[in-house]
């Protein structure tokens, strides 16, 4: 999944995609352990998809915090 597509998803769709991607990674690891996996690149691709989805979730959480008047997490001041 591309990052642009992930950013267009609603919160529920994002959560569903993340759950689906994690399940897919679990299935791939199981296939790897039982020597049924033929395309090993699927594992790294699924991990990247999960990372993209988590990145979008984090961006939204940070945007909602800064919108509430909270202190940004990346502020380097004292």
Whichever domain contains 28, its CATH number is 1.10.287
The Cβ-side half-sphere exposure at 2, using a 13 Å CA radius, reads 3
By CB atoms closer than 10 A (0-12, 13-18, 19+), residue 62 is middle
For residue 67, the model assigns a pLDDT of 82
Report yes or no on 31 lying in a domain. yes
pLDDT in tens, 10-62: 999 999 999 999 999 999 999 999 999 999 999 999 999 999 999 999 999 99
Among 52, 48, 4, residue whose Cα is nearest residue 25: 48
- pTM (predicted TM-score): 0.82
Q: Which long-range contacts (CB under 8 A, 24 or more apart) does 7-11 make?
A: 7/56, 9/56, 11/60
Report yes or no on 48 lying in a domain. yes
Report yes or no on 73 lying in a domain. no
Report yes or no on 26 lying in a domain. yes
What's the number of domains the chain is made of?
Answer: 1
For residue 36, the model assigns a pLDDT of 97
pLDDT in tens, 66-76: 887 655 555 55
For residue 76, the model assigns a pLDDT of 53
| Residue 21 lies in domain | 9-61
Residue 46 near residue 25 (C-beta atoms within 8 A)? yes
Report yes or no on 30 lying in a domain. yes
């Amino acid at each position: 999944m591309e990052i642009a597509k992930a950013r267009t998803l609603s919160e529920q769709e994002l959560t569903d995609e993340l759950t689906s991607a994690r399940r897919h990674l679990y299935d791939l690891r199981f296939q790897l352990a039982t020597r049924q996996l033929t395309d090993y690149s699927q594992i790294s691709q699924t991990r990247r998809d999960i990372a993209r989805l988590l990145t979008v979730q984090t961006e939204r959480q940070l945007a909602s915090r800064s919108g509430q008047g909270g202190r940004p997490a990346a502020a380097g001041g004292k």
